[in-house]
Structure 1
Amino acid sequence: MNNHYEIDSRSVKEGDIFIAIKGEHSNGHDFVNDAFNKGANSAIVEEKRNYIKNNIILVDNVINYINDIASKNLKKYSKIRIGITGSNGKTTTKFFLFHLLSYGFNVFTTEKNYNTEIGIPLSILNNYKNQPVSILEMGLRKENDIKYLSKYYNPNVSIILNIGSSHLEFFKTREKIAEEKLKILSYAEKPGIVFINGDEPLLNIKYPSDIKVFKFGEKKENDGYLIDFEYLNGNTRVFYNIYGENLMLTFTGIWNKGQLMDALAALMVSLYFEIPLDPFYISGFKLPEKRFKLKQFKDSIIINDAYNASKEAFLAAFESFKKMDFDNKKILLMAEVLEIGEQSYEYHQEIIEKAKDFFDEIYFYDPQKKFDFKDIKFLRDKNEVFRILNIPKAFIYVKGSNGTGLWKFVEEIFNNKD
């Protein structure tokens, strides 16, 4: 597709097609004329208004329309369509699998962490070039989100990474979250394949007979399992058993245990399609930004892992740190895990109790004064966060939900480093 589609009128360029999205806080139809004034060629709308140009595509539902045209083009050419869902690790898995499969295939994947009913079609409409293999990350925010995406994109290879506690505020139980994640199979093309976390009881269910199931995890009864890992000279050496064969690989940079499980899922898919594992090629992959990034700052080491957060991600990181050698003071700088709901206090208390087994000091960035835990110190503003990040000769792990803004403070100190 040669046309460029845009949902933000401020970013419209000459010849673009503007998509008028009704959002929670604004209505794209209010900006159609702005888009035309900036050079938009046409606009996709669902509201009849007095627009300054007649080049309007009037549809019943804009989001359904863009998913329809995007999915039809994708399904026409992409015969292998991989859908990835899970509470943690979707973006890392997507980009690592893209890297692996690109060794043997021409592969498309959605950009950044585009994983919604808006981001996925927009990425396809602007970037898809008829690649025969596609990888789509599918996010969950409300009931039937995954089912909606499955209906349009019909994955024939599905990956369910894990069932965490993200979104408990909306779904109340992990059982309900698992039910929603499993809806990736609602409209999966059959016969199909699904790769599931075999260590998760909520995923060990009876699957349709025309869906072939492969399992990954730590348990030896899985089709692929993590044996062990270690850190050497700033890189990660990992030992797997996949489809009955032992495998040793070296990944560039420091990968935590959760990321190594994501990598395992991607490796199993790649090996299923008989893509050769070239150790040198694999070592060329770098983890996405703001995900477990270890950097030297003055005479300290800071790991900025505050792109997103969950209890499971915290605990996976804590396990990984036990593999490292530390001489310096160990500090946890954490922020709230959002969207937990009424269980939030107990949820964070469990994280803190686990952290006490490893860290010398724990700081909680809580500007709204929501919490009151014992034996930890609270930070209320940016300057207090900067003070902790500037503690000399320390190992500082930074973790919290993206919406807390904690990750921005880390980036700011690195950008302003003398």
Structure 2
Amino acid sequence: MKYEIDSRKISEGDIFIAIKGERNNGHDFVNEAFKKGAQKAIVEEPRDYIKEVILVDNVINYINEKASQIIKNSKIRIGITGSNGKTTTKFFLFHLLSYGFNVFKTEKNYNTEIGIPISILNNYNNQPVSILEMGLRKENDLEYLSKYYSPNISIILNIGTSHIEFFKTRENIAKEKLKIISHSEKPGLIFINGDEPLLDINYPKDIKVYKFGENKNNDGYLIDYEYLNGNTRVYYNIYGESLMLTLSGIWNKGQLLDALVSLMVSLYFEIPIDPFYISSFKLPEKRFDFKRYNNSIVINDAYNASKESFFAAFETFKKMNISEKKVLIMGEMLELGDNSYNYHLEVLKKAKELFDEIYFYDPENKYNFDEINIIKTKDDIIKVLNLPYSFIYVKGSNGTNLWKIVEDTIKGG
């Protein structure tokens, strides 16, 4: 039995959750779910249903309340938020903590008031440690999630420009991110990016604060990193001790900071550092994914995008001493609001210092940039991917579908 919000995925014995979304109302599909074998449905609209339903005042509140009662069996509940890097941090922290604990994590990038409870209801099995990725799309999202899941360890990775369309300023984003501790179980811990002035506030006395970043005043800081034979050697100082590790694959600086805070949490619990175990971790798919294609190297990093994540990637390429022609296929960074054009210009200005050719994917004719090649179709993208002997970096927001075009092209090739 599992809980399911998509009637097309219902199997015999499942419970259907009728979610009222922006485009579809799940209540319209309740009877279809029953015909496919659902045993029950959770609804908030009284209708003529053909089988038994659980009628509640608010479906989303109901599933969060139900999930929160289950997850409180975890003595350690870790909440992760930030503009970039939440999923990578969750997976790497899960890997580290699993060396010493039985750990639950929310699946994939499920980080909303719908995804988190469904992940818990379907997968939680009384693990004593839980890692919850907590996203922010609108005002009070983090306070809502904190109210139900009350993490006793919180992590704020960074304050970027993602979703700034809805919050107008980074100051407002920081204010919302900090609500992750609004209902924290006390006493608690919070790990914050100590290089971010917006997170330098007076925290409650019953919450212990640890800082990470590049600044040497932090409790943990990134010293340096280098690339050797397709892997990443990284140097940290954590709690006053130097540490060198080799990580599998190419990690950019942002991801190395995600790894840093994960290591800090793990070491806080006195879990031994096993270099061989750590080197077995693979980065999640669609993030800095290197592929060889037609005598070129293609890095498909188009799962999401922000100004900050572009800049982190550019720093990585500078360290790699790339000999091939460097090509950027850039997709739109979505949800940037009135400042969208200027944010794109900032990225393109930096890109011009590094790349030999730049292509901007703009199928809706939204932008006009000087000295930038504008491409509008899938065929245009495929032509660029077929440039010989090139290093091709692809990045844009998930909603542009750029990652899928690139993935399908490489698989088909």
| TM-score bracket for the superposition, by shorter chain length | over 0.9
2:362 matched residue in structure 1: 366
1:164-313 residue pairs with structure 2 within 5 A?
164-313=160-309
Aligned residues: 413
- Structure 1 residue 124, shift from structure 2 partner: 0.4
- Structure 1 residue 6, shift from structure 2 partner: 0.8
Q: Residue type of the partner of 2:50?
A: I
- Asked whether 1:376 is paired with 2:334, we answer no
1:7 matched residue in structure 2: 5
Counterpart among 316, 329, 332 of residue 312 in structure 2? 316
Q: Residue type of the partner of 1:28?
A: G
2:38 matched residue in structure 1: 40
Counterpart among 68, 81, 85 of residue 81 in structure 2? 85
Name the SS of the counterpart of 1:220 in structure 2.
Answer: coil
1:108-147 residue pairs with structure 2 within 5 A?
108-147=104-143
- Structure 1 residue 7, shift from structure 2 partner: 0.7
Name the SS of the counterpart of 1:398 in structure 2.
Answer: strand
Q: Structure 1: how far apart are the matches of 2:361 and 2:238?
A: 41
Counterpart among 55, 60, 67 of residue 57 in structure 2? 60
Cα distance per residue 1:104-128 (max 9 Å; x no partner): 0000001100000000000000000
- Asked whether 1:159 is paired with 2:179, we answer no
Cα distance per residue 1:86-105 (max 9 Å; x no partner): 00000000000000000000
1:71 matched residue in structure 2: 68
- Structure 1 residue 298, shift from structure 2 partner: 2.1
Name the SS of the counterpart of 2:104 in structure 1.
Answer: strand
**Structure 1 gaps, min length 5:** none
1:31 matched residue in structure 2: 29
Cα distance per residue 1:233-274 (max 9 Å; x no partner): 000000000000000000000000110011001110000011
Q: Superposition RMSD on alpha carbons, in Å?
A: 0.6
- Asked whether 1:106 is paired with 2:102, we answer yes
Of residues 3-12 and 109-118 in structure 1, the stretch that sits farther from structure 2 once superposed is 3-12
Q: Structure 1: how far apart are the matches of 2:353 and 2:239?
A: 36
TM-score relative to the length of structure 1:
0.98
TM-score relative to the length of structure 2:
0.99
1:407 matched residue in structure 2: 403
- Structure 1 residue 155, shift from structure 2 partner: 0.1
Q: Residue type of the partner of 1:363?
A: Y
- Structure 1 residue 297, shift from structure 2 partner: 1.1
Name the SS of the counterpart of 1:323 in structure 2.
Answer: helix
Q: Structure 1: how far apart are the matches of 2:403 and 2:38?
A: 35
**Structure 2 gaps, min length 5:** none
Runs of 4+ in 1 over 3 A off after TM superposition: none
- Structure 1 residue 403, shift from structure 2 partner: 0.3
Counterpart among 42, 49, 52 of residue 51 in structure 1? 49
- Structure 1 residue 375, shift from structure 2 partner: 1.2
